[in-house]
Amino acid sequence: MSHRRRTTSPIALTLLSLLLACAVAPAPAAAHGACRDGEHALDDERALAAFRAALEESCPCDAHDGSTGRKRSDYRACARTVLERAEADGTLGEACVATARGLIEGSVCGTGDVACASVQGTSAPRASCKVTSAASCRSIGGRRTRLPELAGTAATRPITPFVAGGAARKARTGQSFCADVVEWTAGTCFDTRDDGPYEAGFRDVRLVKQSAAEPGTERVLNAVVWYPTAPDAGPIESGSRAVRDAPLAMSRRPYPVLLFSHGSCGFERQSPFLTPWLATHGFIVVAVPHPGNTLFELPACRTSDALTKSAVERPRDMVFALDWILDADDDPASPFFRAVDETRLGMSGHSFGGLTTYLTTALDDRFTVAVPMAAATGPGSQLSIPSLTLYGEVESVVSNAGIFAAYERSTGPKRLVGIEDAGHYAFSDGCFPSVDCNPPVTLTQDEAHERVKRQILPFLKVYLAGDQAWAPFLTTPPSPGVITAVE
Protein backbone atom coordinates (compact mmCIF):
# COMPACT_ATOMS: atom_id res chain seq x y z
CA MET A 1 0.00 0.00 0.00
CA SER A 2 1.27 3.47 -0.80
CA HIS A 3 0.62 6.54 1.32
CA ARG A 4 1.26 10.19 0.72
CA ARG A 5 3.86 12.44 2.35
CA ARG A 6 5.47 10.55 5.20
CA THR A 7 7.23 12.43 7.99
CA THR A 8 8.56 10.50 10.95
CA SER A 9 10.29 10.75 14.27
CA PRO A 10 10.48 8.38 17.26
CA ILE A 11 7.86 8.47 19.99
CA ALA A 12 8.53 11.83 21.61
CA LEU A 13 5.14 11.85 23.26
CA THR A 14 3.99 15.15 24.77
CA LEU A 15 0.87 17.23 25.09
CA LEU A 16 2.44 20.37 26.52
CA SER A 17 0.58 21.84 23.58
CA LEU A 18 -2.57 21.95 25.67
CA LEU A 19 -1.19 25.10 27.28
CA LEU A 20 -0.92 26.91 23.98
CA ALA A 21 -3.38 28.38 21.46
CA CYS A 22 -3.25 28.36 17.68
CA ALA A 23 -4.01 31.30 15.41
CA VAL A 24 -4.36 31.70 11.67
CA ALA A 25 -4.20 34.58 9.22
CA PRO A 26 -6.01 34.53 5.87
CA ALA A 27 -3.90 33.62 2.87
CA PRO A 28 -4.30 35.38 -0.49
CA ALA A 29 -5.71 33.38 -3.38
CA ALA A 30 -3.12 32.07 -5.82
CA ALA A 31 -3.30 31.16 -9.50
CA HIS A 32 -3.17 27.39 -10.04
CA GLY A 33 -5.00 24.40 -11.49
CA ALA A 34 -8.20 22.75 -10.28
CA CYS A 35 -9.96 24.19 -7.24
CA ARG A 36 -9.37 22.37 -3.94
CA ASP A 37 -6.70 20.17 -5.44
CA GLY A 38 -2.97 19.82 -5.06
CA GLU A 39 -0.74 22.08 -3.02
CA HIS A 40 -3.25 24.95 -3.11
CA ALA A 41 -6.16 22.90 -1.73
CA LEU A 42 -6.06 24.41 1.75
CA ASP A 43 -5.87 27.97 0.43
CA ASP A 44 -8.85 27.22 -1.81
CA GLU A 45 -10.85 25.82 1.13
CA ARG A 46 -10.27 28.99 3.08
CA ALA A 47 -11.01 31.26 0.12
CA LEU A 48 -14.32 29.47 -0.44
CA ALA A 49 -15.14 29.71 3.27
CA ALA A 50 -14.48 33.45 3.15
CA PHE A 51 -16.70 33.72 0.08
CA ARG A 52 -19.46 31.82 1.88
CA ALA A 53 -19.23 34.21 4.83
CA ALA A 54 -19.37 37.27 2.56
CA LEU A 55 -22.29 35.74 0.66
CA GLU A 56 -24.32 35.17 3.80
CA GLU A 57 -23.57 38.65 5.09
CA SER A 58 -24.64 40.40 1.88
CA CYS A 59 -27.37 37.99 0.75
CA PRO A 60 -28.74 36.14 3.80
CA CYS A 61 -30.50 33.02 2.61
CA ASP A 62 -33.23 33.14 5.25
CA ALA A 63 -34.19 36.65 4.13
CA HIS A 64 -35.00 35.35 0.63
CA ASP A 65 -38.32 33.71 1.29
CA GLY A 66 -39.81 33.83 -2.21
CA SER A 67 -41.76 37.03 -1.70
CA THR A 68 -41.49 40.06 -3.99
CA GLY A 69 -37.89 41.21 -4.13
CA ARG A 70 -36.76 38.08 -2.31
CA LYS A 71 -37.16 35.43 -4.96
CA ARG A 72 -34.54 33.05 -6.28
CA SER A 73 -33.65 35.46 -9.07
CA ASP A 74 -33.08 38.22 -6.52
CA TYR A 75 -30.83 35.98 -4.46
CA ARG A 76 -28.78 34.98 -7.48
CA ALA A 77 -28.38 38.59 -8.60
CA CYS A 78 -27.14 39.52 -5.14
CA ALA A 79 -24.84 36.48 -5.02
CA ARG A 80 -23.34 37.26 -8.42
CA THR A 81 -22.40 40.70 -7.14
CA VAL A 82 -20.57 39.15 -4.20
CA LEU A 83 -18.81 36.73 -6.54
CA GLU A 84 -17.74 39.50 -8.90
CA ARG A 85 -16.34 41.43 -5.98
CA ALA A 86 -14.39 38.39 -4.75
CA GLU A 87 -12.96 37.90 -8.26
CA ALA A 88 -12.03 41.56 -8.59
CA ASP A 89 -10.23 41.87 -5.27
CA GLY A 90 -8.44 38.53 -5.69
CA THR A 91 -9.83 36.85 -2.58
CA LEU A 92 -11.26 34.07 -4.76
CA GLY A 93 -8.91 32.71 -7.39
CA GLU A 94 -9.94 31.93 -10.94
CA ALA A 95 -9.78 28.18 -10.35
CA CYS A 96 -12.54 28.35 -7.74
CA VAL A 97 -14.92 30.73 -9.50
CA ALA A 98 -16.79 27.83 -11.13
CA THR A 99 -17.08 26.12 -7.73
CA ALA A 100 -18.57 29.28 -6.26
CA ARG A 101 -21.04 29.56 -9.16
CA GLY A 102 -22.08 25.96 -8.56
CA LEU A 103 -22.63 26.77 -4.91
CA ILE A 104 -24.99 29.60 -5.86
CA GLU A 105 -26.83 27.49 -8.45
CA GLY A 106 -27.32 24.72 -5.89
CA SER A 107 -28.89 26.91 -3.24
CA VAL A 108 -32.53 26.76 -2.15
CA CYS A 109 -32.54 30.45 -1.20
CA GLY A 110 -35.68 32.21 -2.41
CA THR A 111 -37.31 29.02 -3.75
CA GLY A 112 -39.35 27.31 -1.07
CA ASP A 113 -37.77 24.08 -2.37
CA VAL A 114 -35.42 21.62 -0.68
CA ALA A 115 -31.99 20.22 -1.35
CA CYS A 116 -32.83 16.71 -2.52
CA ALA A 117 -30.06 14.23 -1.76
CA SER A 118 -29.57 11.06 -3.76
CA VAL A 119 -27.26 8.11 -3.14
CA GLN A 120 -26.68 6.22 -6.36
CA GLY A 121 -24.69 3.15 -7.28
CA THR A 122 -23.80 -0.05 -5.46
CA SER A 123 -20.12 -0.94 -5.85
CA ALA A 124 -19.09 2.72 -5.49
CA PRO A 125 -22.06 4.68 -4.13
CA ARG A 126 -22.09 8.38 -4.95
CA ALA A 127 -24.02 11.18 -3.25
CA SER A 128 -25.58 13.88 -5.39
CA CYS A 129 -28.12 16.64 -4.89
CA LYS A 130 -30.53 18.89 -6.75
CA VAL A 131 -32.92 21.65 -5.76
CA THR A 132 -36.50 20.48 -6.16
CA SER A 133 -39.88 20.55 -4.43
CA ALA A 134 -40.35 18.56 -1.27
CA ALA A 135 -43.17 16.62 -2.91
CA SER A 136 -40.94 15.37 -5.74
CA CYS A 137 -38.12 14.41 -3.39
CA ARG A 138 -39.19 11.14 -1.88
CA SER A 139 -37.45 8.00 -0.74
CA ILE A 140 -37.67 5.19 -3.27
CA GLY A 141 -36.29 1.69 -3.12
CA GLY A 142 -32.79 0.75 -4.14
CA ARG A 143 -30.46 -2.20 -3.94
CA ARG A 144 -28.43 -2.68 -0.81
CA THR A 145 -24.69 -2.75 -0.62
CA ARG A 146 -23.37 -4.56 2.41
CA LEU A 147 -20.52 -3.27 4.49
CA PRO A 148 -18.08 -5.72 6.10
CA GLU A 149 -19.73 -7.81 8.78
CA LEU A 150 -19.39 -6.66 12.35
CA ALA A 151 -17.13 -8.76 14.52
CA GLY A 152 -18.70 -10.55 17.48
CA THR A 153 -21.36 -13.10 18.18
CA ALA A 154 -24.33 -13.03 15.84
CA ALA A 155 -26.69 -13.37 18.78
CA THR A 156 -25.48 -10.07 20.19
CA ARG A 157 -25.16 -8.33 16.79
CA PRO A 158 -28.58 -8.51 15.15
CA ILE A 159 -27.91 -5.69 12.69
CA THR A 160 -25.88 -6.04 9.49
CA PRO A 161 -24.94 -2.59 8.19
CA PHE A 162 -25.83 -1.64 4.67
CA VAL A 163 -26.13 1.44 2.52
CA ALA A 164 -29.14 1.99 0.33
CA GLY A 165 -28.00 2.24 -3.26
CA GLY A 166 -29.96 2.67 -6.49
CA ALA A 167 -31.78 5.97 -6.14
CA ALA A 168 -32.70 6.38 -2.50
CA ARG A 169 -33.55 10.04 -2.01
CA LYS A 170 -34.12 12.27 0.99
CA ALA A 171 -35.05 15.91 1.42
CA ARG A 172 -32.52 17.97 3.35
CA THR A 173 -34.78 20.69 4.69
CA GLY A 174 -32.12 21.90 7.11
CA GLN A 175 -29.56 22.60 4.38
CA SER A 176 -29.55 25.64 2.13
CA PHE A 177 -26.85 24.47 -0.31
CA CYS A 178 -26.48 21.25 -2.24
CA ALA A 179 -22.71 21.52 -1.77
CA ASP A 180 -23.21 20.97 1.96
CA VAL A 181 -25.59 18.08 1.41
CA VAL A 182 -23.05 16.17 -0.67
CA GLU A 183 -19.95 17.00 1.35
CA TRP A 184 -21.22 16.95 4.91
CA THR A 185 -24.25 14.62 4.86
CA ALA A 186 -23.27 12.01 2.24
CA GLY A 187 -26.88 12.15 1.06
CA THR A 188 -28.26 11.18 4.48
CA CYS A 189 -30.32 13.17 6.97
CA PHE A 190 -27.29 13.78 9.20
CA ASP A 191 -24.63 16.49 9.25
CA THR A 192 -21.42 15.67 11.10
CA ARG A 193 -20.88 19.35 11.91
CA ASP A 194 -23.97 19.33 14.13
CA ASP A 195 -24.41 18.39 17.76
CA GLY A 196 -26.57 15.35 18.36
CA PRO A 197 -30.14 15.32 19.72
CA TYR A 198 -28.98 15.25 23.36
CA GLU A 199 -27.18 17.63 25.65
CA ALA A 200 -23.96 16.28 27.17
CA GLY A 201 -23.88 15.57 30.87
CA PHE A 202 -20.78 14.64 32.84
CA ARG A 203 -19.72 13.22 36.17
CA ASP A 204 -16.33 13.12 37.83
CA VAL A 205 -15.60 9.69 39.27
CA ARG A 206 -12.80 8.54 41.55
CA LEU A 207 -11.55 5.06 40.80
CA VAL A 208 -8.97 3.35 43.03
CA LYS A 209 -7.02 0.31 41.88
CA GLN A 210 -3.79 -1.50 42.58
CA SER A 211 -0.72 -0.56 40.56
CA ALA A 212 0.49 -3.19 38.11
CA ALA A 213 4.03 -1.78 37.88
CA GLU A 214 4.41 -1.24 41.65
CA PRO A 215 2.48 -3.98 43.50
CA GLY A 216 1.05 -2.88 46.82
CA THR A 217 0.67 0.73 45.69
CA GLU A 218 -2.74 2.32 45.19
CA ARG A 219 -3.43 4.06 41.91
CA VAL A 220 -6.14 6.77 41.91
CA LEU A 221 -7.85 7.47 38.59
CA ASN A 222 -9.88 10.71 38.66
CA ALA A 223 -11.87 9.92 35.53
CA VAL A 224 -14.67 11.79 33.80
CA VAL A 225 -17.76 10.28 32.20
CA TRP A 226 -19.75 12.11 29.51
CA TYR A 227 -23.21 10.83 28.67
CA PRO A 228 -26.48 11.84 26.98
CA THR A 229 -28.82 14.05 28.95
CA ALA A 230 -31.93 16.05 28.08
CA PRO A 231 -31.59 19.34 26.14
CA ASP A 232 -31.41 22.36 28.45
CA ALA A 233 -30.55 20.12 31.39
CA GLY A 234 -28.57 22.92 33.00
CA PRO A 235 -25.62 25.27 32.60
CA ILE A 236 -22.69 24.05 30.49
CA GLU A 237 -19.36 24.03 32.34
CA SER A 238 -16.67 25.32 30.00
CA GLY A 239 -13.89 22.96 31.06
CA SER A 240 -15.96 19.85 30.37
CA ARG A 241 -18.40 21.35 27.83
CA ALA A 242 -21.25 19.53 29.54
CA VAL A 243 -23.77 19.78 32.38
CA ARG A 244 -22.38 18.57 35.69
CA ASP A 245 -24.23 15.63 37.28
CA ALA A 246 -27.18 15.97 34.92
CA PRO A 247 -29.67 13.09 34.87
CA LEU A 248 -29.07 10.47 32.20
CA ALA A 249 -31.47 10.61 29.24
CA MET A 250 -33.51 7.45 29.69
CA SER A 251 -35.49 7.29 26.45
CA ARG A 252 -33.02 5.37 24.30
CA ARG A 253 -30.85 3.52 26.75
CA PRO A 254 -28.83 1.33 26.82
CA TYR A 255 -26.05 3.33 25.17
CA PRO A 256 -22.82 2.13 23.58
CA VAL A 257 -19.66 2.97 25.54
CA LEU A 258 -16.39 4.42 24.27
CA LEU A 259 -13.31 4.56 26.50
CA PHE A 260 -10.71 7.27 25.81
CA SER A 261 -7.02 7.32 26.75
CA HIS A 262 -5.05 10.59 26.62
CA GLY A 263 -1.60 11.17 25.17
CA SER A 264 1.67 11.15 27.09
CA CYS A 265 1.81 14.12 29.46
CA GLY A 266 -1.82 14.82 28.63
CA PHE A 267 -4.98 14.51 30.70
CA GLU A 268 -8.49 13.12 30.48
CA ARG A 269 -10.05 16.38 29.29
CA GLN A 270 -7.55 16.96 26.49
CA SER A 271 -10.04 16.48 23.62
CA PRO A 272 -13.33 18.15 24.59
CA PHE A 273 -14.02 18.96 20.93
CA LEU A 274 -14.79 15.25 20.66
CA THR A 275 -15.60 13.49 23.94
CA PRO A 276 -18.66 15.49 25.15
CA TRP A 277 -19.77 15.95 21.53
CA LEU A 278 -20.02 12.17 21.13
CA ALA A 279 -22.25 12.13 24.21
CA THR A 280 -24.71 14.43 22.39
CA HIS A 281 -24.89 11.72 19.72
CA GLY A 282 -25.84 8.96 22.14
CA PHE A 283 -22.56 7.55 23.45
CA ILE A 284 -21.27 7.16 27.00
CA VAL A 285 -17.61 8.25 26.96
CA VAL A 286 -15.28 7.31 29.82
CA ALA A 287 -11.97 9.24 29.81
CA VAL A 288 -9.31 7.98 32.19
CA PRO A 289 -6.16 9.76 33.44
CA HIS A 290 -2.91 7.81 33.73
CA PRO A 291 -1.07 8.90 36.90
CA GLY A 292 2.65 9.32 36.38
CA ASN A 293 2.09 10.30 32.75
CA THR A 294 -0.15 13.36 32.92
CA LEU A 295 0.21 17.05 32.16
CA PHE A 296 0.29 17.80 35.87
CA GLU A 297 3.49 15.78 36.31
CA LEU A 298 5.71 17.60 33.85
CA PRO A 299 8.58 17.10 33.22
CA ALA A 300 8.81 13.75 35.02
CA CYS A 301 5.99 12.33 32.87
CA ARG A 302 8.37 12.29 29.88
CA THR A 303 11.19 10.27 31.42
CA SER A 304 11.96 6.81 30.12
CA ASP A 305 11.01 5.34 33.51
CA ALA A 306 7.60 7.03 33.41
CA LEU A 307 6.97 5.84 29.85
CA THR A 308 8.03 2.27 30.65
CA LYS A 309 5.74 2.10 33.69
CA SER A 310 2.90 3.72 31.75
CA ALA A 311 3.05 1.04 29.06
CA VAL A 312 2.28 -1.47 31.83
CA GLU A 313 -0.25 0.62 33.76
CA ARG A 314 -2.25 2.21 30.97
CA PRO A 315 -4.05 -0.82 29.49
CA ARG A 316 -4.89 -2.04 32.98
CA ASP A 317 -6.26 1.40 33.86
CA MET A 318 -8.62 1.10 30.89
CA VAL A 319 -9.73 -2.45 31.75
CA PHE A 320 -10.40 -1.30 35.32
CA ALA A 321 -12.53 1.57 34.00
CA LEU A 322 -14.42 -0.84 31.77
CA ASP A 323 -15.11 -3.11 34.74
CA TRP A 324 -16.32 -0.07 36.70
CA ILE A 325 -18.82 1.15 34.11
CA LEU A 326 -20.18 -2.37 33.62
CA ASP A 327 -20.55 -2.79 37.39
CA ALA A 328 -22.32 0.59 37.50
CA ASP A 329 -24.77 -0.71 34.92
CA ASP A 330 -25.74 -3.46 37.37
CA ASP A 331 -25.93 -1.21 40.44
CA PRO A 332 -29.42 0.20 41.20
CA ALA A 333 -27.78 3.01 43.21
CA SER A 334 -25.64 4.12 40.27
CA PRO A 335 -26.66 6.96 37.92
CA PHE A 336 -25.62 4.58 35.12
CA PHE A 337 -27.92 1.74 36.20
CA ARG A 338 -29.18 -0.07 33.11
CA ALA A 339 -27.55 2.58 30.92
CA VAL A 340 -24.84 0.53 29.20
CA ASP A 341 -25.10 -1.74 26.19
CA GLU A 342 -22.62 -4.40 27.29
CA THR A 343 -22.29 -5.74 23.75
CA ARG A 344 -21.13 -2.42 22.30
CA LEU A 345 -17.85 -1.40 23.89
CA GLY A 346 -15.24 0.72 22.13
CA MET A 347 -11.65 1.72 22.91
CA SER A 348 -9.94 4.86 21.64
CA GLY A 349 -6.99 7.09 22.38
CA HIS A 350 -4.57 9.71 21.08
CA SER A 351 -0.78 9.34 20.74
CA PHE A 352 0.34 7.18 23.69
CA GLY A 353 -3.39 6.69 24.16
CA GLY A 354 -3.42 5.22 20.64
CA LEU A 355 -0.75 2.74 21.69
CA THR A 356 -2.88 2.11 24.78
CA THR A 357 -5.75 1.27 22.43
CA TYR A 358 -3.67 -1.47 20.78
CA LEU A 359 -2.49 -2.80 24.17
CA THR A 360 -5.91 -2.71 25.82
CA THR A 361 -7.81 -4.49 23.06
CA ALA A 362 -5.11 -7.18 23.03
CA LEU A 363 -5.51 -7.57 26.79
CA ASP A 364 -9.32 -7.69 26.92
CA ASP A 365 -11.56 -9.23 24.27
CA ARG A 366 -14.73 -7.48 25.43
CA PHE A 367 -13.95 -4.49 23.23
CA THR A 368 -15.74 -4.61 19.89
CA VAL A 369 -14.40 -1.47 18.15
CA ALA A 370 -11.08 0.43 18.23
CA VAL A 371 -10.17 4.00 17.20
CA PRO A 372 -6.44 4.82 17.56
CA MET A 373 -5.61 8.45 16.68
CA ALA A 374 -2.09 9.60 15.72
CA ALA A 375 -0.98 6.54 17.63
CA ALA A 376 2.40 5.58 18.94
CA THR A 377 2.99 2.00 17.83
CA GLY A 378 5.22 -0.94 18.60
CA PRO A 379 6.43 -3.82 16.41
CA GLY A 380 3.46 -5.95 17.47
CA SER A 381 0.74 -3.31 17.36
CA GLN A 382 -2.34 -4.59 15.52
CA LEU A 383 -6.10 -4.85 15.86
CA SER A 384 -8.46 -7.76 15.26
CA ILE A 385 -11.78 -5.93 15.71
CA PRO A 386 -13.46 -3.31 13.49
CA SER A 387 -11.14 -0.33 13.56
CA LEU A 388 -10.72 3.25 12.39
CA THR A 389 -7.07 4.33 12.35
CA LEU A 390 -6.59 8.09 12.08
CA TYR A 391 -3.39 10.01 11.44
CA GLY A 392 -2.25 13.50 10.52
CA GLU A 393 -0.45 13.83 7.21
CA VAL A 394 2.04 16.28 8.77
CA GLU A 395 3.43 14.30 11.70
CA SER A 396 6.61 14.85 13.73
CA VAL A 397 5.76 13.27 17.09
CA VAL A 398 5.01 9.64 16.24
CA SER A 399 5.84 7.54 13.21
CA ASN A 400 3.27 7.44 10.43
CA ALA A 401 5.24 4.53 8.96
CA GLY A 402 4.56 2.66 12.20
CA ILE A 403 0.87 3.52 11.97
CA PHE A 404 0.70 2.16 8.41
CA ALA A 405 2.50 -1.03 9.44
CA ALA A 406 0.08 -1.59 12.35
CA TYR A 407 -2.84 -1.06 9.97
CA GLU A 408 -1.41 -3.60 7.52
CA ARG A 409 -1.11 -6.18 10.32
CA SER A 410 -4.66 -5.58 11.55
CA THR A 411 -7.56 -7.80 10.53
CA GLY A 412 -11.30 -7.42 10.38
CA PRO A 413 -13.15 -4.47 8.85
CA LYS A 414 -10.67 -1.61 8.98
CA ARG A 415 -10.35 1.98 7.79
CA LEU A 416 -7.21 4.10 7.56
CA VAL A 417 -7.86 7.83 7.27
CA GLY A 418 -5.27 10.58 6.95
CA ILE A 419 -6.15 14.21 7.62
CA GLU A 420 -4.35 16.35 5.05
CA ASP A 421 -2.59 19.52 6.17
CA ALA A 422 -2.85 18.45 9.82
CA GLY A 423 -0.47 16.86 12.28
CA HIS A 424 -0.27 15.25 15.66
CA TYR A 425 -2.43 17.75 17.50
CA ALA A 426 -5.47 17.52 15.22
CA PHE A 427 -6.91 15.09 17.79
CA SER A 428 -6.60 17.31 20.88
CA ASP A 429 -7.89 20.78 21.66
CA GLY A 430 -4.48 22.35 22.22
CA CYS A 431 -1.55 22.47 19.86
CA PHE A 432 2.18 22.91 20.20
CA PRO A 433 3.44 25.40 17.58
CA SER A 434 5.52 23.21 15.29
CA VAL A 435 5.29 21.66 11.83
CA ASP A 436 2.30 19.73 13.19
CA CYS A 437 0.38 22.85 14.16
CA ASN A 438 1.47 25.83 12.11
CA PRO A 439 -1.51 27.73 10.67
CA PRO A 440 -1.98 28.95 8.00
CA VAL A 441 0.41 26.32 6.57
CA THR A 442 -1.52 23.65 8.44
CA LEU A 443 -5.19 23.51 9.45
CA THR A 444 -6.39 25.46 12.43
CA GLN A 445 -7.69 23.35 15.29
CA ASP A 446 -11.30 24.10 14.33
CA GLU A 447 -10.66 23.11 10.71
CA ALA A 448 -8.92 19.91 11.77
CA HIS A 449 -11.62 19.00 14.27
CA GLU A 450 -14.36 19.26 11.63
CA ARG A 451 -12.53 16.70 9.51
CA VAL A 452 -11.80 14.39 12.43
CA LYS A 453 -15.43 14.40 13.57
CA ARG A 454 -16.57 13.76 9.98
CA GLN A 455 -14.65 10.47 10.11
CA ILE A 456 -15.20 9.27 13.68
CA LEU A 457 -18.93 9.75 14.16
CA PRO A 458 -20.19 7.71 11.15
CA PHE A 459 -17.75 4.90 11.96
CA LEU A 460 -18.93 4.70 15.58
CA LYS A 461 -22.57 5.01 14.57
CA VAL A 462 -22.30 2.05 12.19
CA TYR A 463 -19.81 -0.25 13.91
CA LEU A 464 -20.38 0.55 17.59
CA ALA A 465 -24.00 1.73 17.73
CA GLY A 466 -25.19 -0.50 14.86
CA ASP A 467 -27.03 2.34 13.11
CA GLN A 468 -26.85 1.70 9.35
CA ALA A 469 -28.48 5.00 8.48
CA TRP A 470 -24.96 6.42 8.75
CA ALA A 471 -23.43 3.85 6.39
CA PRO A 472 -23.32 6.09 3.28
CA PHE A 473 -20.58 8.14 4.97
CA LEU A 474 -18.39 5.05 4.87
CA THR A 475 -19.03 4.08 1.25
CA THR A 476 -19.26 7.34 -0.68
CA PRO A 477 -16.00 8.96 -1.90
CA PRO A 478 -14.02 10.79 0.79
CA SER A 479 -14.57 14.47 1.38
CA PRO A 480 -11.82 16.89 0.35
CA GLY A 481 -8.86 16.99 2.67
CA VAL A 482 -8.71 13.33 3.66
CA ILE A 483 -6.87 10.25 2.43
CA THR A 484 -8.65 6.92 2.93
CA ALA A 485 -7.92 3.25 2.67
CA VAL A 486 -10.59 0.66 3.45
CA GLU A 487 -10.48 -3.12 3.81
Q: Which residues of the chain have pLDDT under 50?
A: 1-30, 140-146, 149-168
What pLDDT, on a 0 to 100 scale, did the predictor assign at position 185?
Answer: 86
Q: Is-contact 147 462, C-beta < 8 A? A: yes
Q: How many residues make up the chain in this entry?
A: 487
Question: Whole-angstrom Cα distance, residue 283 to residue 470?
Answer: 15
- Environment class of residue 375 by beta-carbon count within 10 Å: exposed (0-12), middle (13-18) or buried (19+)? buried
How far are the Cα atoms of 29, 66, 163, 226, 452 from residue 285, in angstroms, in the given order?
A: 41, 45, 27, 5, 17
* The listed CATH number (3.90.550.10, 3.40.50.1820, 3.40.228.10, 3.90.1150.10) that belongs to domain 199-486: 3.40.50.1820
Residues 6+ apart with CB under 8 A from 461: 281, 467, 469, 470
- How far is Cα 286 from Cα 202, in angstroms, rounded to an integer? 10
The domains of the chain are located at 26-105, 114-185, 199-486
pLDDT of the residue at 204: 98
Residue 288 vs residues 22, 321, 438: alpha-carbon distances, Å: 26, 7, 29
pLDDT of residue 148: 53
At 38 the pLDDT is 79
Query: SS3 sequence, the chain?
Result: CCCCCCCCCCCCCCCHHHHCCCCCCCCCCCCCCCCCCHHHHHHHHHHHHHHHHHHHHHCCHHHCCCCCCCCHHHHHHHHHHHHHHHHHHCCCCHHHHHHHHHHHHCECCCCCCEEEEEEECCCCCEEEEEEECCCCCCCCCCCEEECCCCCCCHHHCCCCCEEECCEEEEEECCCCEHHHHHHHHCCCCCCCCCCCCCEEEEEEEEEEEECCCCCCCEEEEEEEEEEEECCCCCCCECCCCEEECCCECCCCCCEEEEEEECCCCECCCCCCCCHHHHHHCCCEEEEECCCCCEHHHCCHHHCHHHHHHHHHHHHHHHHHHHHHHHHHHCCCCCCCCCCEEEEEEEEEEECHHHHHHHHHHHHCCCCCEEEEECCCCCCCCCCCCCEEEEEECCCCCCCHHHHHHHHHHCCCCEEEEEECCCCHHHHCCCCCCECCECCCCCCCHHHHHHHHHHHHHHHHHHHCCCCHHHCHHHHCCCCCCEEEEEC
Cα dihedral: 74, 77, 82, 84 (round 10): 180
Q: Please, which residues bridge with residue 392 across strands?
A: 419
Q: What is the pLDDT of residues 256-315, one digit of tens each?
A: 999 999 999 999 999 999 999 999 999 999 999 999 999 999 999 999 999 999 999 999
Q: pTM value?
A: 0.84
pLDDT in tens, 403-429: 999 999 999 899 999 999 999 999 999
Cβ-contact 94, 43 below 8 angstroms:
no
